[in-house]
Structure 1
Amino acid sequence: MSSRIPSLNWLRVFEAAARTESFARAAVQLNMSAAAVSQQVKALETRLGTPLFHRHAHAVTLTEAGRAYLPSVQQSLLMLETATTGLFGETREQRLYVQSVLLFAHGILAKGLSAFQARHPDINLSLSTGNIVSDFANRFTDLQIVFGNPALFGTEGDELIREVLYPVAPPAIAAQIKTPQDLLSYTLIEVSTHRASWPHWFETLRLPAGQAQYFFADNSIMAAELSASGLGIALARAPASDRIMGMSGLVPCLPEAKVAGQEAYHLIYPSLTTMRTPARMFRDWLLDYSTAVQTR
């Protein structure tokens, strides 16, 4: 009876195509042609008897079977890499998988990753993002950067950065806000995935929320864009939101009315003692970088 275990090269091609969501980008990473990537993915799908990708004009996305298969493939490839490194020494390139909550990736990580890559050019880092607890479940990564209660995500971790909340709006609207009560004349854009939001801001400052009208979004990047378009007033979450607030042209409405958030960003991992070398290097860098961000 023949084995259904696919070719290792097919799995490498599948992993690269899934991670980049493009046969062309996977081809560049693997030093292959896009046609060869497509052929090898097709061979894998034929062997498994099921499609792994939905093909689009300029991209590919995983099918349900592909999404279920990817974590096992990534973990298996990393186990082979780790075993090879342990027996035969360091490989030229080491792969590292990091998943981060979207706002932290956009507002904190994006600016610093070039420095990490310059310091560790042999680490091939793959960064993915999520927004809610379920995005971080049943997915293989070395490290996860999450917001909120770390016990919901992993067994060990480090606190990275806490947040400060204050209202922001386009300059013309911000100029009309003289007191906290003036906020109630506008729609308040609420991020539904955060426990500390507008009600927390009002309560901490001991201000009546009155008949506040809310518009709900599921992340702070969307909230900033909605505010910039004139929909209402958003809540900044400094320092992670600094970049998107600046890009959206938003300014503080009440600069003195800043409130500490209730939760923090955390770096989560299964075990510090068994952490792979690339992950340990990233952790060391991130702890120093996060400290620098908070002390600016």
Structure 2
Amino acid sequence: MKHKKNGQLVWGILLFCFTAASTGLLIFFKQKIQNHISIQDYLSYGEAGLLILIGCIHLFGIKNVIKRIKESKHASILSSMAFVFGLFSLFLLLVDVVMLQEIGNEIFAAHDNSGEWQIIFFNHAIHFLFSLIFIVQSFYKRKDRMDHEATQPALKNEVVFLTVQQIGIFTAITGLAFTSYLLHFQIPSDFVTGLLFISTLVLMIPYILITVYWFYTKRKEKPSDWYDEKQIHDISRAGLITMAVTEFMMCVWFGLSITEVIESGSILLFPFYSFLSILFFSGITLYMNRYQ
């Protein structure tokens, strides 16, 4: 176990260092391009190599997080956060590649590519965040007080249930934050719609995967046995409150649309409605499970 923790610490530090090196090189590239100075090929290859290394460590990190979630005997907020940010950061790494290709294609054109650079540096901030979470995880010592008696399956089911809600909360918060970022900063309009739609789908992946895993753990049980009495009570109240709140929000949205305060076909409807619904449902369920 000690070797595994040390290994994860090393990978986390490497991810942080590679991301820092990539960021520094990209800042150098930006200055060169702004001054209309050509970039040497070996530097471009170096940046490509760094992005590949960052991607490989992301894959290792996500695999490690999935293993932790499956083996953990308690719901870990840190693991849930790492799962969401890991997949999202990996997606943003692909966005980095697309943005760099776009900049490369327009390097000799009189085109303002500040928006592309802003997206790239924002993405690298997320890479930094994931590396820090990965490093912190290596120091995190689980206080496993659960034994291996016959009650363990029931406890494991509770862990998965709580993990689903935690991942739902982090998915929703990340989605709302990224949506707000795309709309309030100087992002090229050509990229906003595509990024908004694809990022919404990508951010749903952690929530969908953990939900599918929860269904998998219940495959041998009857549907009537999927939830215990308290869980049924919690999700019922959470579902009712979420429905009431989201219906109210849709009424407000409709009112703003018919008064032309916002566009009726606004691209915001899908991501905001989806993430707010998940946030309310998972947040209320988790709150009731722990405090009521």
Name the one with the larger strand percent: 1
Q: TM over 0.5, yes or no?
A: no
Relative to the length of structure 2, the TM-score reads 0.26
Higher percent of residues as helix? 2
